[in-house]
Amino acid sequence: MQTNEQALDAFIARKVRIDEMLTRLQALSDDHFYTNPDTLHWGHVGNLGHIETQLQQIVDFAFQEGEHAN
C-alpha cells in the first residue's frame, strides 16, 4: 500500500523535475531558442509554434482555462 509519505516524496520529485524543465525552457527562451536572426526561416517559426501550442495546453490544464475550464 502506498502511503501519504510516499505520495509526498513522489510529488516533490515531480515538482523538482518540472522546475528543472522550466529553468531550461527559460534559458532557451532567453537565448531566443538558439535562433540567429540572420538565418531565421519559417521552419523556426513552426517549431516555436509547436512549443507555444504545447505550453498553452499545459497552462490551460494547470489553470483550468481553455478546453479545461469548468
Residue of 55, 58, 54, 34 whose CA lies nearest to 44 = 34
Per the structure, the complete domain to which residue 52 belongs is given by 36-70
Half-sphere exposure (CA, 13 Å, Cβ side) for 19? 6
- Over residues 15-67, the pLDDT tens digits come to 999 999 999 999 999 999 999 999 999 999 999 999 999 999 999 999 999 98
What was the pLDDT predicted at 59? 96
Tell whether 3 and 20 lie within a shared domain. yes
Distance CA 48, CA 63 (A): 22
Tell whether 17 and 42 lie within a shared domain. no
Indicate the pTM of the whole model: 0.84
Tell whether 46 and 25 lie within a shared domain. no
Give the count of domains, the chain.
2
Tell whether 41 and 64 lie within a shared domain. yes
What was the pLDDT predicted at 70? 83
Tell whether 40 and 70 lie within a shared domain. yes
Tell whether 63 and 40 lie within a shared domain. yes
The x, y and z cell numbers of residue 53, run together, are: 501550442
